Structure 1
Amino acid sequence: MENNWFQVVNSLSSLLELKLFHCNLNNFLIGTSIRYLNLSSLVTLYLDENNFTSHLPNGFFNLTKDITSLDLALNNIYGEIPSRSIIDRIGQLPNFEYLDISANMFGGLIPSTLGNLSSLYYLSIGSNNFSGKISNLHFSKLFSLDELDLSNSNFVIQFDLDWVPPFQLYQLSLRNTNQDTNKFSSLTESIACQLFLSNNSIAEDITNLSLNCTELYLHHNNFTGGLPNISPMSYRVDFSYNSFSGSIPHSLKNLSELHYINLWSNRLSGEVLGHLSDWRQLEIMNLGENEFSATIPINLSQKLEVVILRANQLEGTIPTQLFNLPYLFHLDLAQNKLSGSIPECVYNLTHMVTFHAEELRTIDLSANSLSGKVPLELFRLVQVQTLNLSHNNFVGTIPKTIGGMKNMESLDLSNNKFFGEIPHGMSLLTFLSYLNLSYNNFDGKIPVGTQLQSFNASSYIGNLKLCGSPLNNCSTEEENPKNAENEDDESLKESLYLGMGVGFAVGFWGICGSLFLIRKWRHAYFRFIYGVGNRLYVTLKVIMYVEDPILLWKSLI
């Protein structure tokens, strides 16, 4: 099919729709043969996600006069659009509705005739090599335009500041276009659903901008000032990697449909977490790398799956409610000012006990001021893959139950006050690729096993009484098995002699004590001893006579 698909479809003269996406097609027929193709009835042509590595042949878009939908996305078609026929030809089709030529290698200018497509509702021309500029003239008659994707483009977007679009977009994608919002602010405020402005290095204050869409992706820019006004119907918000500052506006408290929020790496401050109690549908929450203060609230969404509050200034204790979120599989509270102990309760973290292949199950409480013993419940979360309790003041021993955490890939208990021996069960953690037990008070010998010996000495340093490979600092007795065996033999002999002595004493006093206390037993005992003595005397005499016949003869005379 990949070599003769043109000829195959040519025999289908009444074909209305041709959809050959992701079929590994790799060629167009170049030359005069394309003139003989008969696709006059074709309305829809989808050839996306193939492997065309050629120019687009001339006359390709003269195949039919009634085509309304064309998708050539995600191919390797290169060069300028042949004779500009793709846009010029389509520009003469008033019923044309859908055009996607994104993610190819088309070059050249974009003709203004594109603006004549009054029925066009979907336009995606990004991720190509087009040059020049695109202005409001290209959109002057696009009354039906619903979705616009200009992402990953090098051309200049130049809209008049007072231009009022003749359409209202449902989705706008301007990712990685190196533009600023002033050039298309008239577009952004009217979008109803999705707005993609990520990866643009935009350095503007958009505090007064009102965004009415339900999904906002403004990450990886340099936005300044406060957060913009957001629609109460928003359910996905990503403002990460910017320079937003100030507190969370009260308007965000009304985001009753919010499922996802990412404010990672900004300069936001204040007691933001009070809003969390109102976000009852929240599933993913990333507020890390900011300057938020106060305590972690008690009332959280029971649907939370990811909680990241890392690198803030949060104080107080960890609420028990956090460990009763059934869907939680990623908890990161590291680098705060949290104190107290880890709550001792019946952990209801179902997703950290049952298997879920698509999720990386993580608990990170490092770099706080937490103290006390670590509850056994934490080590019963057998599906946890990453556990980091480092740089706190935890005490106690590592429980043997840690051997049941078979999926553990990274374990960091360093810089605490743990003590005791390392459990032998840890050598069974076969997926463990990172281990740090340094700077504690562990003692004894590191359990022998290929897993624990595969780490270098830095994983164990700072434990003065810990020895064994890879530290190799055990005492002479432990390093010489013969001495250890001799010591074991001597200990065994001492134990044997001690046992015999104790047994004799118990037996002696058990019998003699009875003789002294019971008269009948005492008389019977003496009669028994007297009888034994007589029998011994007779026996000895017989032996003497046997050995000396003369003595026997004399006794008989």
Structure 2
Amino acid sequence: MATSSPNQIPIMFLCLLSTIIFNSSSLVLCNSMLLHCDEKDESLLIKFKHAVTDPSGVLSSWSSHEKDCCRWRGVHCDNITRRVTELHLPCDTIQFDEILDKDNEKPHCLSGELDMFSLFDLEFLSYLDLSNNDFKTIKTCSNNNYSSNIHYLDLAYNYNLVNDHNNMLHQISHLCSSLQYLDLSGIDLYKEIDWLQSLTSLSSLLELHLDDCILQSINPSLQYANFTSLKVLSLSNNDFSSILPPWLFNLTRISYIDLSENNLHGQLPQSKPNLLSLETLCLYINNLDGPIPNWLGQLDQLKALNLACNNFVGPISTTLRNLSSLLVELHLRSNMFTGTVSEKNFHMLSKLKILSLGSESLIFDFDAKWIPSFQLQMLFLGYPGPKFPSWIYTQSSLELLYVENSRASFEPLGKFWKFTTQLEALVLINNSINSDISDVLLDSKVITMQQNNFSGSVPKVSPKVVHLDLSYNNLSDISPFLCQKMKKGKGNLETLFISDNALSGEIPNCLMDWTSLLQVNLGNNNLRGKIPHSIGSLFKLIFLSLEENKLSGEIPLSLKNCRNLRYLSLGENTFSGAIPSWIDQRIKIFQLGSNQFSGNIPIEICQFHSLKILDLSNNKLSGSIPNCLNNLTSLISPHASMDVFKVLSLTKYTKRGFTYLYFRVVTKYMVLHFVHSMLLIDLSSNNLSGTIPSELFMLVGLQSLNLSHNQFMGSIPQDIENLAALESLDLSSNLFSGQIPQSMSGMSFLEVLNLSCNNFEGKIPSGTQLQSFTNLSYVGNPKLCGPPLSRICPQDKKLPNGEQRTEADGDGDDDDNSEVHSWFLMGLGIGFATSFWGVLGVILFNRRFRDAYFRYLDEFHDIVIHKVKPIC
């Protein structure tokens, strides 16, 4: 073994030292280089920041305090070149209570104009995700020679994003020729007629998501679409109304197809298509019919098949038996299948996790001792019977059970309720269980049990329960539920729906233990008494409906503590007192109709900037309409949103790893649904008076206005034409006078019109709109004439020779007619007097006739008062 000489040691030491110094210098140099990203990229990002609205400071890190733009939120750079390659700026999932802070649906998201094409100037940018924000418009690009390196583009669920030139898809396909992923779901592409032609030029496209885009045509006659690389195609919830297009079945590389929730009809092709790589096929909620073709059982890569909610017919046993052993999801529920289904049909499906099965004519014939080879996570059963499948109790991994229209008994019920305690979600709809559930303890996070004829008291729940819907049953007592003492203190319940039951008695003053409640609906019951003072403990409450009960008294002042309350419905009770002026200004629905409220309409209502529905009808209100209604800013926009109510409810399907419907993720089983409603003001059937304030005609987003059965006077101003969005207008049974303004003939959306029982005069304005209504819209105005009334206006009468009658001619004719008319009335009066005294004489001098007559009058009075609603 050789040894180092003394002279070599210093040399080795110097080499080692120089290496260390060199590496340290390189590290320092590299670190100094990492302090700054590319200056051009930084300036483009700053330009983007200044162009958008950022209410919650999502881009707050984009500043001089952080010198390296590669460290900014959502920005990703190449490790070597330090050029910006990716932008991840999706808006976080909307939480239910966050929506309430502003009328804006996404108060914490980026908004304003999206200058997307300026971002394309980031020459190394390949990934852009701006999904679920609230951008309003998109700036178009005028440079036709421009090209981008974008591979991934996601603008999904920017619901209000509008492209004024309707060429968004054309520009994207032209500028992003290398695009591999495109998601524009939730964006209105109604006018993009040639969307398919625009996108087929993207030869590198692997995934295309255009869900909820209001697309109209799917090109049903096109045989081939040039999607040579496409693997994922998602076009759910559009407006397709045609047969399935042939080009769809010629996508040789496609692995995922979703055309659910459209209006597609016709049959699936009977010959085997070229879908050799297909793993997922979703066609649920369409109008497809005919038998299921045999080739579905020959797709050996198939993992998910969803044909639920269509009109497929025939037996399904053969199809089930031949399905791929890789199948994880199978949805066949709500069709028109016939025959039987048994354990023999599931022999190969050992990997099944989600099963949806059942049709009205399909018979369940499972062996009572059968134990499946699969363990389900979700099970949806429709019309199970004649026996309830006992194999369900072997599913120890089941998280969600959904049973509707059961023809089978759930006996023994004790075993069934015990089994449900393992579930995260339990849904029972329209099952004739006919059981007293007073002693049942519900222990699932999500529980919806509607239309099952449950009786007894509302059952108790564990702290685990978050959503409870027991609507449309026969439950009678809510006190044991509300006043229960939980082992772990207060509950976590957020949704309580027990409407349309037989609840009676008073609402107990036990609400202080339910401070987590967001939604309460106890409408259409027999509840009496006052709203308990403890309602003020529900400081998170968003939605409260107590309509159609027998509640009374004033609205408690403690409700003022519910600062998040946005939807209040107390109609059809016997509440009294004044309309509260302390209601939170951010209220969206304010329904107090059909009660006994009195006094004036409080001027504070003008501060309800988010109001979408105002219903104060059928009360005892007096005074005039406040002249500040123009402050109801949510009704001023001609594009005022109809999405006035969002309610948590159960989802049935998932895709792309996210909960499906409207928002990406809310919880595992819950989403926010929109409930559409007309934007309206209803002040009918009160004692209101005065004229209509001009400010009312500034509410151009209003869709329904009802001021009938009051004492309003004056004329309808020409400004009523500003309410161009009106679909329903009722001014009947008032003291209005003057002529109907000609401007009303241009209100093209008007479907309901009632001007009856007033003092209008003159000719009904000509035009197809006002003449399209029947004479019932105008009766009770004796000085009104012209179509559709039979009364001809004097200026429209013609002389015998066909000439148009002048005003002077009309006067002479009226004199002649008046003389004839006078003689006619005189003869009619003499005849009536003779008959009257003849009948009266018999009544006065014949006791039997007299008694019968007055009994008849009593009965007739009851009929008129209680059964006949007068027109005027």
Q: Partner residue of 2:627?
A: 344
Distance 1:131 1:327, change over 3 A: farther
Q: Partner residue of 2:689?
A: 371
Displacement of 1:470: 4.7
Could you tell me which amino acid in structure 2 is paired with residue 149 of structure 1? Y
Q: 1:195 aligns with which of 448, 451, 474?
A: 448
Distance 1:54 1:313, change over 3 A: same
Indicate the structure (1 or 2) with the bigger Cα radius of gyration.
1
Q: Partner residue of 1:496?
A: none
Q: Partner residue of 1:484?
A: 807
Q: Partner residue of 1:521?
A: none
CA root-mean-square deviation: 4.1
Question: Which TM-score applies when normalising by structure 2?
Answer: 0.47
Question: Which TM-score applies when normalising by structure 1?
Answer: 0.70
Displacement of 1:67: 5.3
- Tell me, in whole angstroms, the C-alpha distance in 1 between the residues paired with 2:805 and 2:272: 84
Q: Partner residue of 1:106?
A: 362
Is residue 55 from structure 1 mapped to residue 318 from structure 2 by the alignment? no
Q: Unaligned 5+ residue runs, structure 1?
A: 489-557
Is residue 122 from structure 1 mapped to residue 375 from structure 2 by the alignment? no
Q: Report if aligned partners of 1:444, 1:467 keep a CA contact under 8 Å in 2.
A: yes
- Tell me, in whole angstroms, the C-alpha distance in 2 between the residues paired with 1:74 and 1:118: 23
Per-residue CA deviation, residues 251-291 of structure 1 (Å, 9 max, x unaligned), is 54333343333333333333346464333333433322223
- Tell me, in whole angstroms, the C-alpha distance in 2 between the residues paired with 1:415 and 1:130: 56
The structure whose residues are more often helix, as a share, is 1
- Tell me, in whole angstroms, the C-alpha distance in 1 between the residues paired with 2:307 and 2:357: 10
Per-residue CA deviation, residues 12-61 of structure 1 (Å, 9 max, x unaligned), is 6xx9x544444969544569x96xx584x876554545654221235835
Displacement of 1:305: 2.9
Distance 1:403 1:30, change over 3 A: closer
Could you tell me which amino acid in structure 2 is paired with residue 280 of structure 1? R
Displacement of 1:398: 1.8
Q: Partner residue of 2:495?
A: 215
Distance 1:220 1:157, change over 3 A: farther
Q: Partner residue of 1:308?
A: 591
Structure 2 counterparts to residues 408-423 of structure 1, below 5 A: 408-423=726-741
Q: Partner residue of 2:120?
A: none
Distance 1:8 1:448, change over 3 A: closer
Structure 2 counterparts to residues 159-174 of structure 1, below 5 A: 159-160=412-413, 164-165=418-419, 167-174=421-428
Could you tell me which amino acid in structure 2 is paired with residue 205 of structure 1? S
Per-residue CA deviation, residues 224-254 of structure 1 (Å, 9 max, x unaligned), is 4455877433333444333344443445433
Is residue 407 from structure 1 mapped to residue 667 from structure 2 by the alignment? no
Q: Partner residue of 1:85?
A: 344
Structure 2 counterparts to residues 353-392 of structure 1, below 5 A: 353-354=636-637, 355-356=639-640, 358=642, 360-392=678-710
Per-residue CA deviation, residues 95-144 of structure 1 (Å, 9 max, x unaligned), is 75432225564323565568879954322113x2522357xx76655444
Distance 1:63 1:416, change over 3 A: closer
Q: 2:539 aligns with which of 256, 260, 274?
A: 256
Q: Partner residue of 1:152?
A: 405
Could you tell me which amino acid in structure 2 is paired with residue 364 of structure 1? D
Q: Partner residue of 1:516?
A: none
Per-residue CA deviation, residues 38-87 of structure 1 (Å, 9 max, x unaligned), is 84x87655454565422123583576667554333344433220x43357
- Tell me, in whole angstroms, the C-alpha distance in 1 between the residues paired with 2:325 and 2:806: 97
My pick for the range that moved more, 360-369 or 406-415, is 406-415
Q: 3-state SS of the aligned residue for 1:209? A: helix
Q: Partner residue of 2:387?
A: 132
Is residue 205 from structure 1 mapped to residue 476 from structure 2 by the alignment? yes
Q: Report if aligned partners of 1:194, 1:214 keep a CA contact under 8 Å in 2.
A: no
The structure whose residues are more often strand, as a share, is 2
Displacement of 1:332: 1.7
Distance 1:50 1:470, change over 3 A: closer
Per-residue CA deviation, residues 432-469 of structure 1 (Å, 9 max, x unaligned), is 33322222233444444444344444333333444455
Q: 3-state SS of the aligned residue for 1:384? A: coil
Q: Report if aligned partners of 1:142, 1:166 keep a CA contact under 8 Å in 2.
A: no
My pick for the range that moved more, 330-339 or 104-113, is 104-113
- Tell me, in whole angstroms, the C-alpha distance in 1 between the residues paired with 2:503 and 2:326: 46
- Tell me, in whole angstroms, the C-alpha distance in 1 between the residues paired with 2:774 and 2:273: 65
Structure 2 counterparts to residues 385-464 of structure 1, below 5 A: 385-464=703-782
- Tell me, in whole angstroms, the C-alpha distance in 2 between the residues paired with 1:318 and 1:379: 18
Q: 1:72 aligns with which of 322, 332, 335?
A: 332
Higher relative contact order (CA 8 A, sep 6+): 1
- Tell me, in whole angstroms, the C-alpha distance in 1 between the residues paired with 2:785 and 2:307: 66
Q: Report if aligned partners of 1:341, 1:370 keep a CA contact under 8 Å in 2.
A: yes
Aligned length: 472
- Tell me, in whole angstroms, the C-alpha distance in 2 between the residues paired with 1:449 and 1:7: 55
Per-residue CA deviation, residues 140-174 of structure 1 (Å, 9 max, x unaligned), is 55444332211222222335459644634433222
- Tell me, in whole angstroms, the C-alpha distance in 2 between the residues paired with 1:323 and 1:158: 57
Distance 1:441 1:129, change over 3 A: same
Per-residue CA deviation, residues 367-400 of structure 1 (Å, 9 max, x unaligned), is 1111222211112222322211111122222222
Q: Partner residue of 2:666?
A: none
Q: 3-state SS of the aligned residue for 1:298? A: coil
Q: Unaligned 5+ residue runs, structure 2?
A: 1-248, 250-267, 454-471, 483-490, 643-676, 799-803, 812-872
Distance 1:99 1:20, change over 3 A: same
- Tell me, in whole angstroms, the C-alpha distance in 2 between the residues paired with 1:427 and 1:324: 32
Distance 1:49 1:394, change over 3 A: closer
